[in-house]
A and B are shown apart, each in its own frame.
Chain A
Amino acid sequence: MRKLWEDKVSRRKLLGGAAATSAALPVLHELIPHQALHGGTSTAEAAVAHHRQAHRGSGHFGAVGRVDPKGNGFDPHTILRDFDEGVVRGGVREWEILAEDREIEVAPGVKYAAWTYNGRVPGPTLRAREGERLRINFVNGSKHPHTIHFHGIHRDLSDGIPGVGQGNVPPGGSTVYEFDATPFGLHLYHCHSTPLAEHIAKGLYGAFVIDPKAGRPPADELLMVMNGFDTNFDRSNEVYAVNTVAFAYMDEPIRVKRGELVRIYLVNALEFDLLNSFHIHANFFDYYPTGTRLEPRDFTDTVIQGQGERGILELRFPYTGKYMFHAHVSEFAELGWMGFFEVED
Chain B
Amino acid sequence: MEAATAALRRRSPWLTGLVPVVVLAAAIGLFVALDAPGLDRIGVPQEELAVERTVLRPGEIALHVRNDGADPVQVRQAIVNDGFASFTQSDREIGRLGGAEVKVRYPWIEGQNYEVMLLTSTGATIDHAIEAAVETPDADLGFYGLMALIGLYVGVIPVAIGMLWLPWIRRVDARWTRFLLAFTVGLLGFLAIEALLEGTEIAGNGPEVLGGAALVWLGAAGAYLALAGVDAWLRGRAQSGSTGEGSAPGEGQARRLGERAAFLVALGIGLHNLGEGLAIGSAYAIGSLALGAALVVGFALHNTTEGLAIVAPVARSGSARLRTLVLLGLVAGAPAVLGAWIGASAFHPSLAAVMFGIGAGAIAQVIVQIAPAIRAGDGRLLSPLATSGLLAGLAVMYATGLMVSV
State which of A107-115, A164-172, A187-195, A258-266 sits at the interface with chain B: A107-115
Residues A60 and B212 in contact, CB atoms below 8 Å apart: no
Q: With CB as the reference atom, state the residue of chain B lying closest to A336.
A: B84
Interface residues of A in 8-28 (CB under 8 A from B): 8-12, 17-18, 20-22
Chain A: how many interface residues by the 8 Å CB criterion? 43
The residue of chain B having its C-beta at the shortest distance from the C-beta of A110 within the complex is B76
A239 to B201 CA separation, bound complex (whole angstroms): 33
Residues of A within 8 A of B127 (CB): 3, 6, 8, 10
**Interchain CB contact (< 8 A) of A246 among B68, B84, B121:** B84
Chain B residues whose CB sits within 8 angstroms of the CB of A110 once the complex forms: 76-77, 119-123
Q: Which residue of A lies closest to B74 (CB)?
A: A109
- B128:A6 contact, CB within 8 angstroms: yes
Q: How large is the interface on B (under 10, 10 to 19, 20 to 34, 35 or more residues)?
A: 35 or more
Q: Is the CB of A108 within 8 A of B77?
A: yes
Is there an interface contact between A9 and B82, defined as CB atoms closer than 8 Å?
no
Segment at the interface with B among A61-69, A128-136, A292-300, A310-318: A61-69
**What is the CB-to-nearest-CB distance from A282 to chain B, in angstroms, rounded to a whole number?**
22
- Are the CB atoms of A109 and B77 closer together than 8 Å? yes
B77 touches A22 (CB 8 A): no
Q: Is B124 an interface residue (CB 8 A)?
A: yes
Complex contacts, B86 vs chain A, CB 8 Å = 59-62, 64
Per the bound structure, the CA–CA distance linking A334 and B80 in Å amounts to 10
Whether the Cβ atoms of A335 and B208 lie closer than 8 Å is: no
Known: A4-B204, A8-B127, A231-B124. Contact between A335 and B213, CB under 8 A? no
Closest chain A residue to B209 by CB distance? A2
Contact check: which of A1, A61, A229 meets B208 at CB < 8 Å?
A1
- A interface SS class: loop
**What residues of chain A lie closer than 8 Å to B128, measured between beta carbons?**
6
CB of A7 within 8 A of CB of B129, answer: yes
Q: Which of B203-222 contact A (CB under 8 A)?
A: 204-205, 208, 212-213
- Are B82 and A18 interface neighbours, CB within 8 A? yes
B144 within 8 A of A: no
Asked if B100 is an interface residue, CB under 8 A from chain A, the answer is no
Interface residue? B106 (CB, 8 A): yes
- Residue contacts A-B, CB under 8 angstroms, 6 given: A3-B205, A10-B127, A20-B113, A60-B105, A109-B74, A232-B125
Interface residues of A (CB under 8 A from B): 1-12, 17-18, 20-22, 59-65, 106-112, 229, 231-232, 234, 238-239, 246-247, 331, 334-336
Interface positions of B (Cβ within 8 A of A): 48, 50, 68, 74, 76-79, 81-87, 105-107, 112-115, 117, 119-125, 127-129, 131, 201, 204-205, 208, 212-213
